[in-house]
Structure 1
Amino acid sequence: MRAIILSGAGRYADPWHPFAETSARLAELVAEAGFDVEVREDVDAALGSLEDDVALLVVNAGDPDRSSTDGEPLPAAAEWPAVDGGPLASALERGIGILAVHAAASSLRDVEAFDRAIGGRWEWDVSWHPPFGEAHVHLVGNHAVREGLDDFTLEDERYSSLLLHDVIEPIAEHEQDGIRHPLVWAREIGPSRLVYDALGHDTRSYDSASHRALIANALDWLRRVPAPTAAGRLPAAGAR
Structure 2
Amino acid sequence: MKALIASGTGHYADPWHPFPETTPELRAILTDAGFVVDVDEDVDHAMARLDGFDLLVVNAGDPWRGEDAVPAPRLSVDGLSRALDRGMGVLALHCAVASMRDYPDWAAAIGGMWVPQLSWHPPAGEIDVRVHPFPDGDALSDFTVFDEQYARLQAIGRREVVAEFTVDGERMPAAWVRTYGASRIAVDVLGHDARSYASAGHRNLVKRLARWATAA
Scaled by the length of structure 2, what TM-score is found?
0.94
Displacement of 1:76:
3.4
In the alignment, does 2:93 pair up with 1:101?
yes
Runs of 4+ in structure 1 over 4 Å off: none
Query: Is 1:7 aligned with 2:7?
Result: yes
Q: 1:195 aligns with which of 186, 201, 205?
A: 186
How far apart are 1:171 and its partner, in Å? 0.6
After superposing the two structures, state which structure 1 stretch, 25-34 or 79-88, moved more. 79-88
1:181 CA drift (Å): 0.9
The residue identity in structure 2 corresponding to 1:61 is: A
The letter for the 2-side match of 1:115 is: A
Query: C-alpha distance in 1, partners of 2:202/2:158?
Result: 24
Partner letter of residue 5 of structure 1?
Answer: I
Which residue does 1:132 correspond to in 2?
124
CA displacement at 1:144 relative to structure 2: 4.8
1:82, distance to aligned residue in structure 2 (A): 3.8
Q: Match of 1:228?
A: none
Match of 1:29 in 2: 29
In structure 1, the partner of 2:203 is 212
Q: 1:108 to 1:203 in 2, by over 3 A?
A: same
Shift of 1:202: 0.5
Give the aligned partner of residue 146 of structure 2: 155
> What's 1:56 paired with?
55
Query: Which stretches in structure 1 are left out of the alignment for 5+ residues?
Result: 67-73, 226-240
Equivalent residue pairs, number: 215
Give, in angstroms, the shift of residue 136 of structure 1: 1.1
Q: Provide closer, same or farther for how the CA distance between residues 81 and 184 of structure 1 changes in structure 2, counting only shifts above 3 A.
A: closer
Structure number with larger C-alpha Rg: 1
- Across the aligned residues of Structure 1 and Structure 2, the Cα RMSD in angstroms comes to 1.6
Aligned residues with identical type, % of pairs = 46
CA distance in 2, matches of 1:176, 1:56: 31
Shift in Å, 1:94: 1.0
User: What's the secondary structure of 2:22's corresponding residue?
Assistant: helix
What are the within-5 Å matches in structure 2 for residues 160-179 of structure 1? 160-179=151-170
Say which SS state the counterpart of residue 100 (structure 1) adopts. Answer: strand
